[in-house]
Amino acid sequence: MIKIVTIEREYGCGGSEIAQLLAQQLGWKLWDQLLTEEIARLAHCPKAVVAAREERPDPLYYRLFKSFLRGSYEGSINAPKLNLVDSETILKITQRVVQHAAEKGKSVIVGRGSQQFLKNRPDTLRVFLYALREEKLRRLLARGKARPEAEQLVDSVDRERADFIQRYFHVEWPDRAIYHAMMNTAIGEQAVVQLILSTLKTYDARITA
């Protein structure tokens, strides 16, 4: 029986809004901002710090600084006190939180590599959401973003997500083979939710037959 849905998404396609609507219709727990908050709590750092490092590899200068600090005499002496909130640390905590949410069940989990962490669980439906670039820009402009900023975000965020998945899971993004459905959100949020619910019902019947 399906008890988890993971929602991976292109930036600006409405993935978070769709995940929220889906969770409401199912009556399930939504792990989106809540996931970031739980990671921050476990990492003992502000939520904004986690949000800045989620779903993206550490920049080169940060990796070099981390290597220097951990390799230096002072760094080795103070290693127990060293609490760098980097992408690898966040990833390890994220895995724990995602797997805990999966064990609890009745969860809609947004991004953060959840589709990779749970790809071998038969009780998980994995969905990828996307949209044309102009549709994503339209959504961001409607939220009040200036066009130059919207264009920069659309072009950079997904590139960072792809780099993150490649670096830590060694697969291309999106890893099409692991998804049960890939949907264009241009058809509307409610329509996408209904498609996901229909897919969930169909797949659920198949695995429980």
For the stretch 97-113, pLDDT in tens is 999 999 999 999 999 99
Compute how many other C-beta atoms are within 10 angstroms of the C-beta atom of residue 22.
22
> What's domain 4-208's superfamily in CATH?
P-loop containing nucleotide triphosphate hydrolases (3.40.50.300)
> How confident is the model over 49-74, as a mean pLDDT?
57
Query: Which position has the higher pLDDT, 115 or 76?
Result: 115
- The predicted structure's pLDDT at residue 67: 42
Q: Are 182 and 127 in contact (CB under 8 A)?
A: yes
Report in angstroms the alpha-carbon separations of 110 from 39, 164, 205: 14, 15, 24
Domains of the chain, by residue range, sit at 4-208
Backbone angles phi, psi at 184, to 5 degrees: -85, 120
Which pLDDT value is given to residue 187?
A: 96
DSSP one-letter code for 9: E
**Please, which pLDDT band fits residue 27 given cuts at 50, 70 and 90?**
very high
pLDDT at 152 over 60: yes
Q: What are phi and psi of 183, to 5 degrees?
A: -130, 140
Whole-number Å distance between alpha carbons of 17 and 182: 16
